[in-house]
Chains A and B, each alone.
Chain A
Amino acid sequence: MAKTIEEKQYLVRFNCDTKSHLEVKDHDVCATKCPDKDCTIFCPADVYKWEGDRMFVGYEGCHECGSCRIGCPFDNIKWEYPKGGHGIVFRLA
Chain B
Amino acid sequence: MPEKFDVIVVGAGPAGTSCAYTCAKNGLNVLLIERGEFPGSKNVMGGILYRKQMEEVIPEFWKEAPLERPVIEQRFWFLDKESMVTTSYKDLEWGKEPCNNFTVLRAKFDKWFASKAVEQGATLINETVVTECIVDEEGKVIGVRTDRPDGDVYADVVVLCDGVNSLLAKKLGFHKEWKPEEVALTVMEVMKLPKKTINERFNVNDDQGVSIEIFGDATQGALGTGFLYTNKDSINIGVGTTLSGMIKKKMRPHHLLEYVKEHPMIQPYIEGAESLEYLAHLIPEGGYKAIPKLVGDGVIVAGDAAQLVNAIHREGSNMAMSSGKMAAETIMKAKELGEYTERVLDSYRTELYDSFIGKDLKKYKDTAHTFEEHPQYFEQYVPLMNRAMNTMFTVDGTAKWDKQKKIMKSFTEKRGKLGVAKDIYRAWRVVK
Which residues does A use to contact B, with CB under 8 Å?
1-3, 5, 7-9, 11-12, 15, 38, 41-42, 44-46, 63-67, 69-71, 75, 81-85, 87-93
Q: Are A84 and B279 in contact (CB under 8 A)?
A: no
Per CB-CB distance, the 4 closest pairs between chain A and chain B, nearest first, are: A85-B127, A44-B280, A8-B278, A2-B275
Q: Are B107 and A90 in contact (CB under 8 A)?
A: yes
Residues A90 and B279 in contact in the complex (CB < 8 Å), given A42-B251, A70-B179, A85-B37: yes
Complex: how many Å from CA A38 to CA B165?
A: 20
Interface centre among A46, A64, A71, A90 (most CB of B within 10 A): A90
Complex: how many Å from CA A3 to CA B188?
A: 12
Q: Does residue B387 face the partner (Cβ distance < 8 Å to A)?
A: no
Q: Are B278 and A88 in contact (CB under 8 A)?
A: no
Residues A71 and B180 in contact in the complex (CB < 8 Å), given A66-B165, A83-B147: yes
Q: Are A67 and B282 in contact (CB under 8 A)?
A: yes
Q: Which residue of A lies closest to B238 (CB)?
A: A93
Q: Which residue of B lies closest to A89 (CB)?
A: B41
Residues A93 and B36 in contact in the complex (CB < 8 Å), given A9-B278, A70-B178, A71-B247: no
- B208 nearest CB across to chain A (Å): 20
Q: Are B127 and A92 in contact (CB under 8 A)?
A: no
Q: Are B107 and A70 in contact (CB under 8 A)?
A: no
Q: Which of B47, B180, B277 contacts A90 (CB 8 A)?
A: B277
Q: Which residue of A lies closest to B178 (CB)?
A: A70
Chain B residues with Cβ below 8 Å from A88 are 41-42
Complex: how many Å from CA A81 to CA B277?
A: 21
Q: Does residue B189 face the partner (Cβ distance < 8 Å to A)?
A: yes
Residues A11 and B276 in contact in the complex (CB < 8 Å), given A42-B246, A84-B146, A93-B106: yes
Q: Give the segment of B136-144, B252-260, B291-299, B407-415 that binds chain A.
A: B252-260
Residues A92 and B185 in contact in the complex (CB < 8 Å), given A5-B254, A42-B253, A65-B282: no
Q: Are A8 and B275 in contact (CB under 8 A)?
A: yes
User: A-facing mask of B302-334, CB < 8 A → 1, else 0?
Assistant: 000000000000000000000000000000000
Complex: how many Å from CA A88 to CA B276?
A: 15
Q: Does residue B172 face the partner (Cβ distance < 8 Å to A)?
A: no
Q: Are A70 and B183 in contact (CB under 8 A)?
A: yes
- A4 nearest CB across to chain B (Å): 8
Residues A84 and B128 in contact in the complex (CB < 8 Å), given A90-B44, A92-B190, A92-B277: yes
- The size class of the interface chain B forms with chain A is 35 or more
Complex: how many Å from CA A1 to CA B187?
A: 15
Residues A41 and B252 in contact in the complex (CB < 8 Å), given A83-B129, A90-B277, A93-B236: yes
Interface centre among A9, A66, A93 (most CB of B within 10 A): A93
Chain A residues with Cβ below 8 Å from B147 are 83-84
Q: Which residue of A lies closest to B236 (CB)?
A: A93
Complex: how many Å from CA A8 to CA B185?
A: 17
Q: Which of A5, A11, A64, A92 contacts B42 (CB 8 A)?
A: A64
Chain A residues with Cβ below 8 Å from B253 are 42, 44
Q: Are B42 and A45 in contact (CB under 8 A)?
A: no
Give me 27 A-to-B residue pairs in the complex whose CB atoms sit less than 8 angstroms apart, sorted by A's number. A2-B278, A5-B254, A7-B275, A8-B189, A12-B277, A12-B278, A12-B279, A42-B251, A65-B281, A69-B165, A69-B177, A70-B177, A70-B243, A71-B246, A71-B247, A75-B177, A82-B129, A84-B35, A84-B126, A84-B129, A85-B35, A87-B42, A88-B41, A90-B43, A92-B106, A93-B190, A93-B277
Chain A residues with Cβ below 8 Å from B189 are 2, 8, 11
Chain A residues with Cβ below 8 Å from B212 are none
- A9 nearest CB across to chain B (Å): 7
Complex: how many Å from CA A12 to CA B276?
A: 8
Given contacts A42-B247, A89-B41, A93-B236, 11 further A-B contacts (CB under 8 A): A7-B275, A11-B278, A44-B185, A46-B254, A63-B281, A67-B282, A71-B180, A71-B246, A81-B129, A90-B279, A92-B276
Interface centre among B42, B167, B179 (most CB of A within 10 A): B42
Complex: how many Å from CA A1 to CA B19?
A: 39
Q: Which of A15, A64, A93 contacts B37 (CB 8 A)?
A: A15
Q: Are A66 and B164 in contact (CB under 8 A)?
A: yes
The residues in B between 177 and 235 inclusive whose CB is less than 8 angstroms from any CB of A are 177-180, 183, 185, 187-191, 234
Q: Are B254 and A38 in contact (CB under 8 A)?
A: no
Complex: how many Å from CA A83 to CA B45?
A: 23
Q: Which residue of B lies closest to A64 (CB)?
A: B42
- B255 nearest CB across to chain A (Å): 9
Interface centre among A70, A83, A88 (most CB of B within 10 A): A70
Chain A residues with Cβ below 8 Å from B45 are 93
User: A-facing mask of B102-129, CB < 8 A → 1, else 0?
Assistant: 0001111000000000000000001111
Residues A1 and B273 in contact in the complex (CB < 8 Å), given A44-B187, A44-B254: yes
- A51 nearest CB across to chain B (Å): 18
